[in-house]
Structures are given as structure tokens and as C-alpha cells.
Amino acid sequence: MKRAKSVPLALVINLLLVIGLVCMAAPFAWMLSTSFKGTKDIFRYPPQWIPSRPTLDNYTKLFRTVNIARPFANTVITAVSITALSLLVCSMAGYAFAKFDFPGKDVLFMGVLGTLMVPGQITMIPVFLLLKKLGLLNSYAGLVLPGIASAFGIFFMRQFIVTLPNELLEAARIDGAGEFFTFNRIVLPLCKPALATLGILNFTGSWNNFLWPLIISTDESMYTLPVAVASLAGQYATEYGLQMAGSVVVIMPIVIFFMLAQQWFMEGIAMTGMKG
Amino acid sequence: MQRRARVAYMFLAPALILMMVFVVVPVVASFVMSLTDFNIRALANWGNARFIGFGNYIRLFGDELFWKALRNTLYFVGIGVPLAVTLSLLLAALLNSPLNRAKSLFRIGYYLPSITETVAIAVVWRWVLNSRYGILKQALEMVGLDSPNWLGDPAWAMPAIIMMAVWKGLGHNALIFLAGLQSIPSTVYEAAQIDGANGWEQFRFVTLPLLAPTTFFVGTMTLIGYLQLFAEPYTLTDGGPLDATLSIVLYMYRHGFKFFNLGYASAMAYVLFGLIFVATLLTMKRKGEEVTFG
């Protein structure tokens, strides 16, 4: 009796999920498909899902005429630098908050958490002026520096390091290990899972960051991928094949990264969910 | 003990200095700037900026385009947030069903849009929404509907942006809900079943109250994010047609970084900050009421 009832329900649930999944996937498929089409096949209705005359012209143009390799390199350099420096700086601060007692600790920690409420738009203008004054517009330093220290990163590392056993740290101290040795050789290796999760969040976040690079990079040679694609979409407004190829170059590396490191991404969601 | 404190400060120093320079001081500085007429002349020489008290805020009050941007943003938030929360909760319930036949495939598939870069995916959506060749037109025709001129019609441009934003964030929110759903112990449902609650009643009187903290979290985060709407209208419509999709941040960006009216733009940033602050407080108050129930 129960079985007879649950078969149609299972059908409905899975059907709804499949329809939703098609809605999720269709824009991606459409992007890939269009990026391999020539102009004639692009402007065709009803649309052709599998290109009848596939071509690499859009990608060739993307690399030759638009020189997408430069923004690609800029994005990689920026995202890697932010991720590495942020992991170091945030785990150091997290370690201090987790395992040390010092005057002003609670006030400082609340202060750090308080900055979570500040939207980026508030700090953007003075930071822009400061970096302009320092001559750091259109530089990697300008792209990277403001993104290193994050309240979330510090909080996240603190929560993880608090759970590490004190005995381990004490033992190192008794053996005469210096503070930085203890941090480097004992704390950091134990933090690997947290560093992986935070690193992935940081990397994806800075790869996808748009507003700050848009403001700080006024020179084409310092564009990051999102800025380059936005400019491409303005400059070649009707060349949809070229635009789709550009989007593929921005989106696919993160998608592939996600496929490879899925488990850590999922952990990241569970952790950000915990923040509430 | 003294020495331990010194070591702690050493570990803290890089993070605190960076936060001081890039967050704390700028928060104060931008408020001070919002009280000046800092413009393109002051950009060359900061001494050219004059103190004008609350002049920028008074000017904002009379700026029709700002009101338009505010209304547009509230429209986006007012429709977008409830829609995003409801749909992702619904999706989470479906994903959580024991009858779901392909758990990891669905999880990955639905999550994918949320890791994509907004500008690149908006460029794709502009093509999806194309009123002559787009696939959305094709999909609507399949079910017998006409496709509006999404991005060219002031009445449809904002709904199109809401559609894209909800589509993009759906999977991320659903996975947070899913974690919330899975943390509800099955014994609670068993008790409800013994009391004779049907499926809908279980959802209404067990799931929803116990899920309130998650709903609050997802709702607040979506609200804060949506109030900062920028990349979507920047890419899809540049605020048009007829300013129908001009958002607060887009308007602020124009004044700040197109015309370099940085004082005026700072005042807008502070109004946005105030909105975010009030919105967070309001949802917190709601949360207090709901939690007593769970």
C-alpha cells in the first residue's frame, strides 16, 4: 500500500529535480555551444544546440585580437597572492586569538568581528585615494593588499585552532622550540583541513571579484578577467560568439577546480552556514 | 606572561595593521569625505575639498535619480529575497527527500551557478535573454508563451535581473538549508507522526520552526548581498532602459568613479550602510520572535 503511493511521489520529486537541473545547466550548455559557432549559426532561430559547423574562430580571436592571456595571468597572480598571504596572515591572527592571553584580547576580537558588518562600498573610496596617493593604481599591490586580512578568515582560523590540544603546544615549548617554529611546524600542519577550505573560499572569491579590480585597474594591461570580459561585452556588443568564449575562459577554470575539490567546497558551505 | 603577550601581538600585527589601514581608517575617512564636496579637482589636490556639513545628504534627498535607484534596489530586494529563500528551501526539501535518486549529481548541478563569476554569467544571460535568438524565448514558446523584450523593456528588465540573481544563488542557499534540514533529528518527525500529523503539517509545525535559525541566516545574507546589487545591472543593462535597473551601488559607482564626485558617492555609501544596518536589525528582531517557538 505504502509502496504504491510512493512510486508516483518519487516520480514527481525526481522529475521536478531534473527540470530544475535542466534550467541550471542550459545557460552553460548554451554558452559552450555558442562559443564554437560562426556568426551565421549564432543568429539563427530556432537555436541550434549542437553547432553544425563548429569553429575555434572565437577563441583564436580572443587570444590574438583581444589578448585574453594577459588578464588571465593577472587574475592568476592576484588570486594566488591573495590566497597565500591571506592564509598566512589570518592563521597567525587566529592562532593569537585562540591560544594566547593578552590585554585587550576581547576588545580586539569583537572589533575584528565588527568589521564583518562593513560593506566594501564604504571603504572603497578612501582606499582608492590612498592607493592613488601611493602610486599603486594599476599594480598587483593595489589589487592584492586590500584583500589580504579578512575578519571572516581570522574568525574561521581561530575557531579551528581553539580545538587543537594545548598539550601539543606545551610539549614543543618544553622542548625549547621557538614561537615561530611552533607555529610553523606544529600549528600550521594541523590546520591543513581548515587552510584548504579557507583557501578555496579565498581563491574563488578573488578570482570572481569584480568591483575592486574595476576601480583600481584603469589600464587595460592590468585588467583582471571579469573586468576584461565586461569591457569585451561593451566593445564587441553584438559578437556573441566572442563574448561566450570570454565567459568560458572566466568560468571554466573555477568549474574544473570545483569538480576536483568538491569535498572542500562543500565543507566551506557548511562552515559559512555555521557563521550564523 | 609579559613575553607571551608580546608574542601574541607579533602574531596579530600583520592582520591588525592591514585591517586598520584598509577597513577601520577608511570607514571613518569615508564618513568625513561624505561631509565634503570632494570632487575631481580635489582628486588632484586634496586641499581643494571643502567642508559642507550634511550638504551631500541634503542633495541626495532631492536627487530624483537617487530615489529611483533606491526604489529599484528595494524592488529587487523585496521580490528577490523572498523568492530566493522560498525556492531554495523548496529545493532543499526535494534534495533531502529519501526518494531523490541522484543525490550528488543534483547537489553539484544546482551548486554550479553560484561559483561562477557574475559578469561572465551575466554576459551569458544577456544572450539567453536575447529577444530574437535567445533560448529563453525558445523555452517560453515551447509552453505557448510569448517572450517579452526582457532587457529592452523598462517593465521587464528588473524581473529579468531578479530571475538571474535567484538562479545564480539558488544552489548555494539550498545546500545551507539542506545542512539545516539534516540536523533535525528524525525522532521529532516520528513523534509528530504518532500525533497524526500529515506531511504538510510536519513541514509547517516541525520543519519550519526548527529551521528558523537557518532561514534567518540565509535571509539576512541574501538581503545584505542583494542590497549591494551592482555587477548584474552593470553588465546586463548599464542601469537602463530608462534607469529601470539603476541600483544604489551602480549610481554610486557612476558618481564616484565616472565623474569623481567622491564626496557625494561617500554619502551614498553611508546611506547604503545605514540600510544594511537597519535591515540586519529588523531581521534580528524577527529572529527573536521566531526562536521562542522552536
This complex has an ipTM of 0.89
Binned at pLDDT 50, 70 and 90, residue A273 comes out as low
CATH of domain B64-291: 1.10.3720.10
Q: How high is the pLDDT of residue B225?
A: 93
Q: How many CB atoms lie within 10 A of CB B150?
A: 24
Q: How confident is the model at residue A238 (pLDDT cuts 50, 70, 90)?
A: confident
pLDDT digits 0-9 by tens, B57-72: 999 999 999 999 999 9
The DSSP secondary structure of A176-195, one letter per residue, reads T--HHHIIIIIIHHHTHHHH
Residues A40 and A18 in one domain: yes
What is the distance between the alpha carbons of residues B33 and B265, in angstroms, rounded to a whole number? 9
Give the closest residue to A122 by CA, choosing from B244, B270, B271: B270
Taking CB atoms and an 8 Å cutoff, what residues of chain A touch B112? 24-25, 28, 255, 258
Examine the domain organization and report whether A196 and A85 are in the same domain: yes
Mean residue pLDDT of chain A comes to: 90
Residue B51 pLDDT level (bands cut at 50, 70, 90): very high
Q: In the listed set A54, A74, A89, which residue is the last one of a domain according to the structure?
A: A54
Q: Find the mean pLDDT for residues B60-86.
A: 96
Place of cell 544546482: B110
Give the angle B26-A104-B270 at the CA atoms, nearest 5°: 25
Q: Do the chains contact at A20 and B127, CB–CB below 8 Å? A: no
Nearest to A211 by CA among A128, A273, A130, A141: A128
Same structural domain, A50 and A156? no
What pLDDT shows up at residue B1?
59
A163-175: per-residue pLDDT in tens?
998 888 888 888 8
Phi, psi torsion values for B52, nearest 5 degrees: -125, 20
A70 and A157 together in one domain: yes
Residue A38 sits in the same domain as residue A118: no
B36: helix, strand or coil: strand
Confidence check: pLDDT of B293 > 50: no
Say which of B14, B26, B95 has its CB closest to residue A127.
B26
- With an 8 Å Cβ cutoff, are A225 and B8 in contact? no
A85 and A132 in a common domain: yes
The answer to whether residues A226 and A243 belong to one domain is yes
Same domain (yes/no): A196, A120: yes
Which residue on chain A is closest to B104 by alpha carbon? A262
In this complex, how many residue pairs, one in chain A and one in chain B, have their CB atoms less than 8 Å apart? 272
Q: How far apart are CA B94 and CA A48, in angstroms?
A: 32
**Domain boundary assignment for chain B:** 64-291
- State phi, psi for A215 to the nearest 5 degrees: -80, -45
Q: Are residue A161 and residue A72 in the same domain, yes or no?
A: yes
Of B24, B108, B139, nearest to A262 by CB-CB distance is: B108
Residue type for position A186: I
CA distance B229 to A42: 30
Cell of A88: 598566512
* A106 close to B (CB below 8 A): no
Residues of A with Cβ-Cβ distance to B105 under 8 angstroms: 21
> Cα angle at B124 between A144 and A241, to 5 degrees?
105
Residue A5 binned pLDDT confidence (cut-offs 50, 70, 90): low
Residues A144 and A173 both lie in one domain: yes
Residues A229, A242 contacting (CB under 8 angstroms): no
Q: What is the CATH number of the domain that holds A237?
A: 1.10.3720.10
Asked whether the beta carbons of residue B123 and residue A243 sit closer than 8 angstroms, the reply is yes
Burial A155-171 (b: 16+ CB within 10 A, else e): bbbbbbbeebeeeebee
Say yes or no to pLDDT of A17 above 80. yes
Report residue B282's pLDDT band, with 50, 70 and 90 as the boundaries.
confident
Nearest chain A Cα to B169, which residue? A24
Label residue B160 by pLDDT band (50, 70, 90). very high
In one-letter notation, the amino acid at residue B135 is: I
Q: Do A183 and B272 touch (CB under 8 A)?
A: no
Q: What's the grid cell of residue B184?
A: 533535525
Q: How far is B238 from chain A (nearest CA, A)?
A: 10
Residues A208 and A237 in one domain: yes
pLDDT in tens, B204-230: 888 899 998 889 889 988 999 999 999
Q: Which pLDDT value is given to residue A46?
A: 86
- Whole-model pTM? 0.91
In contact, A266 and A68? CB cutoff 8 Å: no
pLDDT tens readout for residues A111-165: 999 898 888 999 999 999 999 999 999 999 999 999 999 999 999 999 999 999 8
A134, A23: one domain: no
Structural domain total, chain A: 2
What domain range includes position A165? Answer: 62-274
